[in-house]
Chains A and B, each alone.
Chain A
Amino acid sequence: RKEVEQDPGPFNVPEGATVAFNCTYSNSASQSFFWYRQDCRKEPKLLMSVYSSGNEDGRFTAQLNRASQYISLLIRDSKLSDSATYLCVVNLNKFYFGSGTKLNVKP
């Protein structure tokens, strides 16, 4: 059973749209959570941490639901430059990466 599950997508959305991804994790003892972004043929980079109370960074909002064991990422007013694969990461003494959700933002 995978520690982290994500819908691979792709999510194809027009510019300006709002899009949300979910990610579920299997171990309730998971300690911390993050979203990474990976552009095509590039290395992953930290996008944002996910706090229990939810957190926002510009157009991006991350939320954690410990009871249901999922985390979410909401992107408002999508830009072409948001096109990438978004990796959900769960920390359980070491990082467990999801396989990623691909987002394509179209003009």
Chain B
Amino acid sequence: DVKVTQSSRYLVKRTGEKVFLECVQDMDHENMFWYRQDPGLGLRLIYFSYDVKMKEKGDIPEGYSVSREKKERFSLILESASTNQTSMYLCASESLGGRWGEQYFGPGTRLTVT
């Protein structure tokens, strides 16, 4: 069974803090993604990675950066958290040889920035 884990389920940070969200997958998947999910807006892609040390911007990368030093781990960094980054953050992974269209999601991190 594929497992995608995220470092925290709930996180509260102050404006201006640096925030690290960690995601680990245990199935040797090549592709990994970070989304945020907001009511009425659905899931929006922040960044994705097709390989170690590779990263691509998604639709809303501003205010975020990512790191993929190892294949199984994909980190999302908020350099200076702002209140408009309060959201549910979902990490996903995908195998190139897996079921077509299947991304496996972690349980999510609900981040509140005060």
Contacts and interface: CB of A to CB of B under 8 A. Distances in A.
A95 B39 CA distance: 18
A91 B107 CA distance: 22
Contacts of A45: 105
Contacts of B102: 46
**What does DSSP make chain B's interface, helix, strand, loop or mixed?**
loop
Interface residues of A, number: 20
Interface string B63-74: 000000000000
Contacts of B48: 94
Contacts of B35: 97
Interface in B1-51: 33, 35, 39-45, 48
Given A8-B40, A32-B100, A46-B99, A95 B45 contact: yes
Interface of A: 4, 8, 32, 34, 42-46, 49, 87, 89, 91, 94-100
Given A95-B43, A97-B44, 7 more contacts: A8-B40, A43-B106, A44-B105, A45-B105, A46-B99, A95-B45, A99-B41
